Chain A
Amino acid sequence: MRVSAFVACAVACVLASAVIVVTAQERGIGLDKLRSGSTYMGADLRAMQADEFANTGMLWVERGAKLWNARAGSAAKSCSECHGDARTSMKGVATRYPAWDKGAGRLLDLEGRINQCRTSRQGAAPLAFESEELLGLTAFVATQSRGMPIKVSIDGPAAAHFERGRALHQRRIGQMNLACTQCHNDNVGARLLAENISQGHPNAWPGYRLEWQSAGSLQRRLRACYSGVRAELPPYNSADLLDLSLYLAWRAEGLPIESPGIRR
Chain B
Amino acid sequence: MKNLPRSLPFSSRRRALLAGAAAAPLLPFHARAQDNPEVQAYKAFVGARAVRTERLVLDIPRIADNGNVVPVRIAMPGPFLPGAEVKSIHLFSEKNPVPQMAVFYFPLPLARVEVESRVRLAGTQRVAAVATMADGSLYSAMADIVVTVSACIDGT
Contacts and interface: CB of A to CB of B under 8 A. Distances in A.
So, do A and B actually touch in the complex, CB under 8 Å?
A: yes
Contact of B152 (A48, A56, A227): A227
B14 A225 contact: no
A213 B14 CA distance: 22
A224 B155 contact: yes
A223 B13 contact: no
A194 B68 contact: no
B155 A227 contact: yes
Interface in B123-156: 148-156
A42 B15 CA distance: 13
Nearest to A191: B151
B78 interface: no
Contact of B61 (A44, A212, A225, A230): A44
B25 interface: no
A166 to B, nearest CB: 23
Nearest to B68: A210
Contact of A44 (B14, B150, B151, B154): B14
Nearest to A176: B152
A42 B63 CA distance: 9
Interface residues of A, number: 27
Given A44-B13, A210-B68, A213-B68, A192 B151 contact: yes
Contacts of A41: 65
Contact of A212 (B13, B151, B152, B156): B156
Interface string A192-229: 11110000000000000011110010001001110111
Interface in A97-135: none
Interface of B: 13-14, 61, 63, 65-66, 68-69, 71, 148-156
